[in-house]
């Protein structure tokens, strides 16, 4: 059996949950995951956390779409305030990037539906069956994933 590629992640939002739970967890997931980018508007957090976790790429929130288009990531872990989940998740889905999102998924049912719809549209546009979309509660995060889709 061939070696499976590691999924390359950007962590979006570098607040408390990201620093005490999300970022440290990457050290336990080295077989299948790689932390490749950080997204935040705080230059001090960029400097400190890039050094601590040996991450080469850092983006501001204004550069998020550039991060998504860079080809350097396969998935985002959204650890932002709840009211920002929908916007950042939809943009990732539209860019063809897998989304893991801290709970709650969004602030309203409509935002949740928008997030799901964006993922289904992307799957359909790329010849994938949108019924393969999985929404799972996993360790405090909502995971929207296309089952068995390999990293780009």
- All domains in the chain, ordered by first residue: 7-146 (3.40.50.720)
* pTM of the predicted model as reported, rounded to 2 decimal places: 0.83
Q: What is the pLDDT of residue 135?
A: 55
d(CA 34, CA 25): 11
pLDDT in tens, 9-32: 999 999 999 999 999 999 999 889
Which residues lie closer than 8 Å to 53 by C-beta, 6 or more apart?
A: 23, 26, 35, 38
Which residues lie closer than 8 Å to 122 by C-beta, 6 or more apart?
A: 93, 94, 96
């Amino acid at each position: 059996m061939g070696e499976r590629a590691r999924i390359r992640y950007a962590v979006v939002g570098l607040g408390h949950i990201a620093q005490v739970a999300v970022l440290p967890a990457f050290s336990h997931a080295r077989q299948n995951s790689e932390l490749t980018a950080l997204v935040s508007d705080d230059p001090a957090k960029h400097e400190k956390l890039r050094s601590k976790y040996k991450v080469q790429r850092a983006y501001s929130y204004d550069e998020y779409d550039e991060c998504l288009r860079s080809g350097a990531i396969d998935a985002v872990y959204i650890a932002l305030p709840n009211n920002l989940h929908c916007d950042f998740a939809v943009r990732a889905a539209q860019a063809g990037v897998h989304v893991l999102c801290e709970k709650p998924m969004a602030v309203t049912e409509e935002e949740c539906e928008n997030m799901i719809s964006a993922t289904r549209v992307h799957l359909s546009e790329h010849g994938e069956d949108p019924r393969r979309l999985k929404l799972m509660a996993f360790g405090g995060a909502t995971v929207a994933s296309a089952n068995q889709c390999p990293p780009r």
